[in-house]
Structure formats: C-alpha cells, structure tokens
C-alpha cells in the first residue's frame, strides 16, 4: 500500500492511497475541536452540529439535500468526538464531482433552517431519554464526571436534557465558523482518484473555509486517583460498573507496552485475563473488558463489568485482585508472546476496505504518528520486552486507587468512598 502526501495548488494537504480496482472513493477528514469546544451550558453543541450537516445547504433544503445524496449514491456522515469533529464521504467515482460539491456546500453553506434544527433537537432529546435508562451509559457519564470534574472531558458529548434546548441556530453556525478551518484539518482519501484530480478537489471542497480556527484553549486533564466509588440506583436486574484511573498518553514512549498490557488484561476478548478469571472460571459476569483512551489532553485507563446484582461485589473484588497481580508480577512469557502474535497478525484486518483504510490513515494523522507508521507499527510491537511490560504494569495499574461508578441495585459491594475523597 503506497501512501502519497498530496498538496493541492492552494496548499491543502491529504494522504492518498490510489486504488483503481473498484470505482469508489472514500474520503475521511477531521477538524481539531470536537466536543471540547462546546460552550459552557451548551454541552452537546458539537453533537448537534454533526446531526445538522446533511439537513440542507446552499440551494437545497433538508429534503432536497438528502434526495440529492440518494440520487448520487453518496454516503456522508459527521461525528463529534472529544477532540475532533470527523467527517466521511463515500461515492462512486463517476459521481465524484457532484458529490464533492455537495460536501463543499455542507461545510461552507449549511443552512440550519429552523424546522430542521427543531427536528434534530427533538431526535437528540429522545436519544438522551433512552440513554438515561441505559446502565452502561449512565455509569460511563458518571465516571467521566468524577474523573474529569470541570474539564470539558467531564461533560457528556451528546449534551443533557437542559443544555440541548438552550442551543440556538446562531450557536450552531458559530461553532462551524470557529472550528471548521484549514489550519486544523487532516484528510485521508482512498480509491479511484489520482493525485492531480484530488488536489483540485481539495481546493474546491475545503478552499472556502477560513484559514485559521478560533479554538478555545484546552487545559491538560489530570484525573485524580481514588479510591472513589459512587453507586447510582436503577431498578434493573443487572448492575454495570466502570472502573479506572489515569492512563498513558499516545505520544508517551510507554504507550505501546501499555497497549499490549491492556490487551493481556482486558482488551483481548475471551483471551484476556479478566474474561478468564471473572467469566470463564467463576461465571460471575456476562462481560468484562478494559481499554486505554489516549485523549489529546489526558489519557485514561478504563474497564467495565456487567453482571447480575448479586455478583457485582465479588466481580469487582476479582478484578481488583487481578489488577494487583498483574501490576506486581507482570504477564507470563506466554501471554506476552500471544499478545505479540495476535496484535501483529490482526493489524492487516484494519485495512480490509477503502473506508477502513481511510479511517486508519485519518487517525494516524490525528495522533501525529507519521506517514511511515503503518510500516513500522508491528516492529514496535515486536520490540517490547518482558522488562518493558513489567515496568509499565507498575506504572499504569494502581488497583488501590480506582475510580468506580456502579449503576443498578448491587446486593453487596465494598465500602463506598465519597466522590472527591482524597487518594
């Protein structure tokens, strides 16, 4: 796979993988900003904007715009994440000029008609009502609130029942003006298009955007260590718990060993330690897993377990015991070898379609890993030694200082520590 860095005549850069076997083009792009740029009291603003991007632009109202998308066999999506606003378009190469024009209109001439704004607002509020009754979502939002406190990461990406009604049409337009700019734009393109054609298309689509964004500065998040445990009662037969603490940043030299350690602990599905100890050996939980989320302004290590109310307390005890054991002893040689084998062998599966290749290239750019990262990634995995992973286990895992949120009606849990208690 050859990755070209294309620079348009107007200076807009993109990564391109040409593939002419199928008449398809997949383009992914992202603007730095995302939910961390939501105004105070108007949480969910970026999420609201993402839902409005195909609701009319230029001469097309919402219905006409979406009918035009369908006639072009064009797929377009926007998504608000914590640190970026992502966009995606896929189209037949024969329809690329018309589709690129529709994308240009969405980015630079979005209408935000009142009827469309109110319809999308109602959809978001309905989604939030559903989320209020989903134990896993409630546990996750509560964990973020405790871990990140007043930082933007502590606010729900989708907003709240109070913040969404406060968002106006002008707020939506102002967000686009502040965030959609060329200085914080990354683009990846895969498919039936050459570099020269893409260069011209980049200027057409993105050239009308402001050169510079107007982003509010974001402080570094420093999640406190616990122990902190909060129980939110919900009349459901199964309790959900989210647990974790601060993590290791993506640019940290220890991130790759930490990533591998997490695979061994809870990121490896049925081959992980937590799944083996909690589900397979003891039958305590239906699901248990962990992950590292290396946000741009603060990384966290987070796990989740779901089980019947009667088994929640014992499940958490087993999880904490395994965390302590892994921190103290590290993994076995076999676990390390298995992790290397899987993580290197499965990497190619992330590149099984034009869309997935474009997505991988986009995140490599967002995380500033370099255009050669794909070629060197597996070597980075293979280079991790047992000494590396044992050192990182002691650095990453602190089972005595977990932040834990529980949603349900757990019958037995260890003593509750008030949120905000010193660690």
**pLDDT value of position 224:** 86
Percent of residues, the chain, with pLDDT higher than 90: 94
**pLDDT value of position 222:** 86
- Terminal Cα distance for the chain, rounded: 49
Main-chain dihedrals φ then ψ at residue 29, nearest 5 degrees: -150, 160
CA 98 to mean position of chain CA atoms: 30
CA 404 to mean position of chain CA atoms: 21
**pLDDT value of position 342:** 97
Main-chain dihedrals φ then ψ at residue 218, nearest 5 degrees: -115, 125
**pLDDT value of position 422:** 31
Q: What residues does 240 pair with on adjacent strands?
A: 306, 407
Asked if the peptide bond before residue 227 counts as cis, ω within 30 degrees of 0, the response is: yes
Say if residue 421's pLDDT is above 60.
no
Report in angstroms the alpha-carbon separations of 291 from 102, 242, 300, 325.
Answer: 37, 11, 8, 18
**pTM reported for the whole predicted model:** 0.94
**pLDDT value of position 170:** 98
Summarised one tens digit per residue, pLDDT across range 220-229 is: 998 888 899 9
Say if residue 411's pLDDT is above 90.
no
What mean pLDDT do residues 235-242 have? 94
**Domain architecture of the chain: domains with CATH:** 4-206 (3.30.830.10), 228-408 (3.30.830.10)
The residue behind tokens 């290590």 is: 301
Summarised one tens digit per residue, pLDDT across range 31-88 is: 999 999 999 999 999 999 999 999 999 999 999 999 999 999 999 999 999 999 999 9
User: What is the rounded average pLDDT for all residues in the chain?
Assistant: 95
Q: How far apart are CA 218 and CA 220, in angstroms?
A: 7
Q: What residues does 44 pair with on adjacent strands?
A: none
What mean pLDDT do residues 361-367 have? 98
DSSP labels for 139-202?
HHHHHHHHHHTTSGGGS-TT--TTHHHH--HHHHHHHHHHH--GGGEEEEEEES--HHHHHHHH
The residue behind tokens 């968002």 is: 167
**pLDDT value of position 350:** 94
Residue 1 CB coordination number (10 Å): 11
The encoded tokens of residue 104 equal: 């240009």
Q: How far apart are CA 32 and CA 171, in angstroms?
A: 18
- Parallel/antiparallel/unpaired status of strands 298-308 and 238-246: antiparallel
DSSP labels for 265-300?
IIISGGGSHHIIIIIITT---SEEEEEEEEETTEEE
The encoded tokens of residue 72 equal: 């072009």
Say if residue 416's pLDDT is above 70.
no
The encoded tokens of residue 294 equal: 């290396």
**pLDDT value of position 412:** 65
Say if residue 124's pLDDT is above 70.
yes
């Amino acid at each position: 796979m050859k990755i070209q860095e294309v620079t348009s005549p107007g200076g807009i850069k993109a990564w391109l993988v040409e593939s002419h076997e199928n008449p398809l083009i997949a383009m992914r792009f992202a603007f730095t900003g995302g939910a961390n740029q939501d105004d105070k009291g108007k949480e969910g603003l970026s999420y609201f904007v993402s839902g409005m991007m195909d609701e009319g632009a230029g001469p097309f109202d919402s219905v006409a715009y979406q009918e035009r998308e369908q006639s072009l066999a064009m797929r377009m999506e926007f998504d608000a994440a914590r640190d970026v606003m992502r966009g995606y378009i896929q189209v037949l190469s024969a329809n690329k000029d018309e589709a690129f024009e529709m994308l240009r209109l969405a980015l630079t001439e979005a209408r935000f008609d009142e009827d469309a704004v109110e319809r999308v607002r109602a959809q978001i509020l309905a989604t939030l009502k559903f989320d209020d009754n989903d134990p896993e979502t409630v546990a996750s939002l509560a964990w973020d609130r405790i871990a990140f406190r007043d930082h933007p990461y502590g606010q729900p990406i989708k907003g709240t029942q109070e913040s969404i009604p406060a968002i106006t049409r002008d707020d939506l337009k102002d967000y686009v003006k502040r965030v959609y700019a060329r200085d914080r734009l990354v683009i990846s393109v895969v498919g039936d298009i050459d570099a020269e054609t893409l260069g011209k298309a980049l200027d057409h689509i993105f050239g009308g955007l402001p050169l510079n964004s107007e982003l509010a500065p974001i402080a570094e998040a420093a999640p406190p260590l616990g122990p902190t445990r909060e129980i939110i009662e919900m009349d459901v037969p199964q309790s959900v718990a989210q647990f974790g603490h601060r993590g290791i940043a993506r640019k940290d030299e220890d991130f790759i060993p930490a990533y591998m350690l997490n695979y061994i602990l809870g990121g490896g599905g049925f081959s992980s330690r937590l799944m083996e100890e909690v589900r397979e050996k003891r039958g305590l939980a239906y699901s248990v897993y962990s992950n590292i989320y290396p946000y741009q302004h603060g990384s966290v290590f987070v796990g989740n377990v779901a089980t019947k109310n009667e088994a929640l307390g014992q499940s958490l005890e087993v999880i904490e015991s395994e965390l302590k054991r892994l921190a103290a002893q590290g993994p076995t040689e076999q676990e390390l070898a298995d992790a290397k084998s899987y993580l290197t062998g499965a990497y190619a599966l992330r590149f099984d379609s034009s869309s997935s290749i474009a997505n991988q290239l986009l995140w490599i750019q967002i995380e500033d890993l370099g255009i050669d990262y794909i070629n060197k990634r597996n070597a980075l995995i293979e280079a991790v030694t047992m000494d590396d992973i044992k050192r990182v286990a002691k650095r990453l895992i602190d089972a005595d200082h977990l932040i834990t949120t529980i949603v349900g009606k757990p019958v037995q849990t260890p003593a509750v520590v008030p949120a905000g208690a010193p660690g």
